[in-house]
Amino acid sequence: MKGIFITMEGPDGAGKSTQIGMLREFLAQKGYEVLLTRDPGGNVVSEAIREVILNKTFTNMGYMTELLLYASARAQLVEENIKPALESGKAVIADRFVDSSAVYQGIGRGLGIDTVLKVNEFALQGIMPDLTFLLDLDAEAGIARKKNQTELDRMENETMEFHRSVVAGYRKLAELAPDRIIKIDAALPKETIHDIIVSYVAKSLV
């Protein structure tokens, strides 16, 4: 069985966790051993870096520092978790990956998508998702959902203008890579979103 790498992207509050759980069950039923992970995070080193990135007291963190920290956590995630899992034929589902950096740091922070991709070139080791599902949701709705769920971290506490630029950035990425990134209206019922996702995944498993 060939490994498959799927990522779930979208602005904060778009409902990625719900869809990841439902997709995991679908792939397990198809006979896959499934690795769930998140970016940044997924192992001891990357989780430690995540704590630094999202610490809301670090308000003076430079944009390039932020980008490099994300890339460092991603490099460890690829090396320790994603690459071995794919090589052993597992299905990997990641809550965010390099597309998030392209949007949050490349567009939101104004560093540029090309800069993000160059910085991440070594971290990725040539590994990119087979499919990426973008749960599309307006910034205001997304942050309202997050405020009802939990205390906001450093990135979630950014200005509404920043979050709007993130949403616009995701939509731009979907236009640039339509064969890989499938944009889905996150306001749809969760069962409808799941049906759309599995329709694409099923074709990739053939």
User: What is the distance between the alpha carbons of residues 170 and 10, in angstroms, rounded to a whole number?
Assistant: 7
Q: Looking at residue 149, what is its pLDDT?
A: 58
CB contact set of 52 (below 8 Å; sequence gap of 6+)? 58, 69
pLDDT attached to residue 162: 87
- Inter-axis angle of helices 44-54 and 63-77, nearest 10: 160
**Cis ω for the linkage preceding 189 (within 30 of 0):** no
Print pLDDT tens along the chain (206 aa): 789 999 999 988 889 999 999 999 999 999 999 999 999 999 999 999 999 999 999 999 999 999 999 999 999 999 999 999 999 999 999 999 999 999 999 999 999 999 999 999 999 999 999 999 999 998 777 666 655 656 677 677 778 888 899 999 999 999 999 999 999 999 999 999 999 999 999 999 96
Integer Cα distance of 57 and 125 in angstroms: 32
The domain tally of the chain equals 1
| Predicted pLDDT at 62 | 97
CATH number for 71: 3.40.50.300
Q: What local confidence, expressed as pLDDT, does residue 156 receive?
A: 73
Can you give the residue range of the structural domain that contains 158? 4-205
Task: Write out the H or E segment, with its range, that includes residue 95.
Answer: strand 91-95
- Residue 118 has a pLDDT of 97
pLDDT at 145: 67
Residue 134 in contact with residue 170, Cβ under 8 Å? yes
Q: What's residue 150's pLDDT?
A: 63
